């Protein structure tokens, strides 16, 4: 299923909000756990419209994740919502010991991942969560690219029996997928064909990658864009195929270049099909608070930087 | 229960506790590793839970309506395993595999491989929150099972314990009973000059009451007191119960008692012989 980048923008939060309310209404086992961020993550909709399914856990993320574990052992499906930074760094021991290792049916949604967290800066940005979550055995790690895909991955997570981490962003992004889009665990999605280079992107960097690819096309460079909503399990076959067909890879993610999608792709390429590769991501730096466009430029992850990475990797071919 | 039956029950519990203590010392000696002091202090409460208080069935260890137990002080797994074995969850022989490769008896409890374990623990401070989740799960689904959990006094320094205390109060979890194995010694502790090495101003009773819990304080080595505390907790409504079980670290073996040195030491052959002798003459 392919679509071009549309001018219509929607936030992942609004999609999440509608979807979690529906799931909580449809399935008696679905409960929402909030770490006092419901107005930011927008799960306040459940508190307002389906209050008996809303469990306030207070500003205590470690306890929240362990409580989720206990709830799951009684047959419920708890969904824990907070910021990606707090899930991945404050409560990761709880998640590893009591959710991942015992393979319990807990859904973890990290709002405000990446760099653009609404002028909140270093404490609220999350440039490490992919790296941290993907090292946990049993963990599924998903990063949707638009509001449609948010709904689809949440529906998937609801059906799936086991721990799932979903990485979301704060602001509005172009709608990429239409309603008939089918999410498949462990499957890449080719959004644009091309023959010179493949950009493999995830989450919010997918729309920026499409933007870069379209710009490059007008300069005569043929760029494929492969979106990876499923970082774990990873579609290794698609990565190898991209390496074979275009001979050069760029990865793009709103995350540190250490340990994220770029690392995961590099691991696959090194073992299966080494080709020239350039990673786009935050390059081992601490960030700050600032307006979105300025942040993307300063931390070198804007679509211009994706395009520059394509040109750089072409020279290595 | 009649007086006679009560006496018989007490005798059985006392006997089981002694057997379990012997198995702790033997297993740690055999494995050449493991904790001793904390497991020994916990044994009477653990025995009472599994042979008296909890509604469980070894034939159906995952039964939906069974009572749950979470050993939040997971390093005392080797105190729990002998009790589970004596209760019939697995053969006593299997204790010899403790800490060996491929064993179901992990140094810290692994719920994915051993029947009878309701939660994986080992990182202190977390188990109590999972127990809160279980008790909350029972309430949300109108189930009648009760959830029990044991924490340590050292473990109580973890902030998460108090996060859990808040939430249990907030949701009025009167189906939750937490036992504090208050042996007043941790791994190394706070003050080398202080014989008990306990945290200054711990005051567990005042603390748990301040968090809105119903608090019972008992001698944690006295089966009648333990049984009565569990019965009292069943009558509490609207709040969770904390049973402060005052215990002795290393209980039952003179040279292991009241010292942090036996937190996780392995007995020599001679120490094992002496320990078994002391435990056998205790009856
Ligand atoms: C989070 C965490 N920190 C440290 C440890 C290491 N540790 C294991 S037991 C222990 C002392 C525990 O003391 P207490 O809770 O009083 O247990 P007991 O004396 O009953 O053995 C420590 C520090 C751990 N298991 N988990």
Convert the pLDDT of each residue in B101-130 to its tens digit: 999 999 999 999 999 999 999 999 999 999
Residue A2 has pLDDT above 60, yes or no: no
Q: How far is the CA of B263 from the centre of ligand 1 (A)?
A: 9
What confidence score (pLDDT) does residue A278 get? 98
Task: Find the mean pLDDT for residues B32-61.
Answer: 97
Domains located in chain A, CATH noted: 9-174 (3.40.50.970), 189-314 (3.40.50.920)
State the Cα torsion B167-B168-B172-B175 to the nearest 10°: 150
CATH number, residue B149: 3.40.50.970
Convert the pLDDT of each residue in A149-192 to its tens digit: 999 999 999 999 999 999 999 999 999 999 999 999 999 999 99
Task: Find the mean pLDDT for residues A43-69.
Answer: 98
Strand pairing of B176-182 and B241-246?
Answer: parallel
C-alpha A257: how far from chain center: 14
Task: Find the mean pLDDT for residues A271-279.
Answer: 98
- CB neighbour class for A110 (10 Å; exposed up to 12, middle 13-18, buried from 19): buried
What confidence score (pLDDT) does residue B88 get? 98
Q: How far is the CA of B38 from the centre of ligand 1 (A)?
A: 9
Convert the pLDDT of each residue in A78-95 to its tens digit: 999 999 999 999 999 999
What confidence score (pLDDT) does residue B195 get? 58
Which position has the token pair 């519990």?
B13
- The domain of B235 spans 3-280
CA distance linking residue A124 with residue A119, whole number of Å: 9
Contacting B with CB below 8 Å, chain A residues are 31, 55-58, 60, 62-63, 65-76, 78, 93-94, 97-98, 101-103
Q: Tell me which chain B residue has its CA closest to the CA of residue A58.
A: B167
Q: For the whole model, what pTM was predicted?
A: 0.94
SS3 track for B151-200 = EECCHHHCHHHHHHHHHHHHCCCCCEEEEEEECCCCCCCCCCCCCCCCCC
Does residue B14 contact residue B223 with C-beta atoms inside 8 Å?
yes
Instruction: State whether ipTM is beyond 0.85.
Output: yes
Task: Find the mean pLDDT for residues A289-309.
Answer: 97
Q: Mark yes or no for CB contact A74/B166 under 8 Å.
A: no
What confidence score (pLDDT) does residue A149 get? 98
B116 in contact with chain A, both atoms CB, cutoff 8 A: no
Q: Mark yes or no for CB contact B130/A69 under 8 Å.
A: yes
CA distance linking residue B14 with residue B9, whole number of Å: 9
The count of domains in chain B is 1
Give residue ranges with CB within 6 A of ligand 1: B 37-38, 41, 73, 75-76, 122-125, 152-155, 181, 183, 185-187, 249
Convert the pLDDT of each residue in A207-241 to its tens digit: 999 999 999 999 999 999 999 999 999 999 999 99
Residue A119 has pLDDT above 70, yes or no: yes
DSSP 8-state code for residue B75: G
Confidence of residue A5 (pLDDT cuts 50, 70, 90): confident
A167 closest CA partner among A251, A232, A72, A95: A232
B135 in contact with chain A, both atoms CB, cutoff 8 A: yes
Q: Mark yes or no for CB contact B133/A94 under 8 Å.
A: no
* A254-A259-A262 Cα angle (round to 5): 60
Convert the pLDDT of each residue in B177-233 to its tens digit: 999 999 998 888 876 555 556 666 789 999 999 999 999 999 999 999 999 999 999
What confidence score (pLDDT) does residue B2 get? 73
Task: Find the mean pLDDT for residues A104-131.
Answer: 95
* Average model confidence (pLDDT) across chain A: 96
* A61 included as an active-site residue: yes
CA distance linking residue B207 with residue A51, whole number of Å: 31
Does residue B212 contact residue B150 with C-beta atoms inside 8 Å?
no
């Amino acid at each position: 299923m392919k679509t071009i980048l549309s001018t219509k923008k929607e936030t992942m939060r609004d999609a999440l909000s509608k979807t979690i309310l529906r799931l909580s209404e449809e399935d008696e086992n679905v409960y929402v756990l909030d770490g006092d961020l419901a107005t930011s993550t927008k799960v306040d909709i459940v508190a307002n419209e389906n209050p008996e399914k809303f469990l306030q856990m207070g500003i205590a993320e470690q306890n929240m994740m362990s409580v989720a574990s206990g709830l799951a052992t009684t047959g419920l499906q708890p969904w824990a919502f907070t910021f990606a930074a707090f899930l991945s760094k404050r409560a990761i021991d709880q998640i590893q010991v009591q959710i991942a290792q015992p393979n319990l049916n807990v859904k973890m949604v990290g709002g405000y991942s990446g760099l653009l967290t609404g002028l909140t800066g270093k404490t609220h940005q999350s440039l490490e969560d992919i790296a941290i979550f993907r090292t946990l055995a049993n963990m599924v790690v998903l990063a949707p690219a638009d509001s449609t895909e948010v709904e689809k991955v949440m529906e998937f997570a609801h059906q799936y029996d086991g721990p799932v981490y979903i990485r979301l962003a704060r602001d509005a992004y172009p709608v990429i997928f239409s309603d008939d889009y089918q999410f498949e665990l462990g499957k890449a999605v080719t959004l644009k064909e091309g023959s010179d280079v493949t950009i493999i992107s995830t989450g919010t960097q997918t729309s920026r990658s499409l933007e870069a690819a379209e710009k490059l096309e007008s300069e005569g460079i043929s760029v494929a864009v492969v979106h990876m909503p499923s970082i774990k399990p990873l579609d290794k076959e698609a990565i190898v195929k991209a390496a074979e067909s275009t001979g050069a890879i760029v990865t793009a993610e709103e995350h540190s270049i250490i340990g994220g999608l770029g690392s995961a792709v590099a691991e696959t390429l090194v073992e299966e099909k080494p080709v020239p590769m350039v990673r786009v991501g935050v390059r081992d730096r601490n960030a700050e608070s600032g307006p979105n466009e300025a942040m993307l430029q300063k931390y070198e992850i804007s679509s211009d930087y994706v395009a520059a990475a394509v040109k750089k990797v072409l020279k290595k071919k | 229960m009649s007086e006679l039956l009560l006496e018989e029950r007490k005798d059985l519990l006392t006997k089981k506790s002694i057997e379990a203590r012997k198995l702790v010392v033997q297993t740690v000696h055999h494995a050449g590793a493991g904790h001793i002091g904390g497991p020994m202090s916990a044994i009477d409460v653990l025995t009472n839970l599994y042979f008296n208080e909890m509604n469980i069935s070894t034939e159906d260890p995952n039964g939906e309506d069974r009572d749950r137990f979470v050993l939040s002080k997971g390093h005392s797994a080797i105190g729990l395993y002998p009790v589970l074995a004596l209760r019939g969850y697995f053969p006593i022989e299997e204790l010899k595999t403790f800490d060996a490769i491929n064993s179901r008896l992990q140094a810290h409890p692994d719920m994915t491989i051993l029947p009878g374990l309701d939660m994986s623990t080992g990182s202190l401070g977390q188990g109590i929150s999972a127990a809160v989740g279980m008790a909350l799960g029972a309430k949300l689904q109108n189930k009648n099972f009760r959830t029990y959990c044991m924490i340590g006094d050292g473990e109580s320094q973890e902030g998460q314990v108090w996060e859990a205390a808040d939430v249990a109060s907030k949701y009025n979890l009167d189906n939750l009973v937490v036992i504090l194995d208050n042996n007043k010694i941790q791994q190394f502790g706070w003050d080398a000059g202080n014989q008990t090495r306990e945290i200054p101003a711990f005051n567990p009773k005042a603390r748990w009451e301040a968090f809105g819990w119903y608090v019972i304080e008992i001698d944690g080595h006295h089966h009648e007191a333990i049984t009565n505390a569990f019965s009292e907790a069943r009558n509490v409504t609207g709040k969770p119960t904390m049973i402060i079980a005052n215990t002795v670290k290393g209980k039952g073996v003179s040279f292991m008692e009241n010292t942090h040195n036996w937190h996780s030491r392995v007995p020599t052959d001679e120490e094992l012989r002496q320990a078994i002798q002391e435990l056998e003459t205790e009856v």
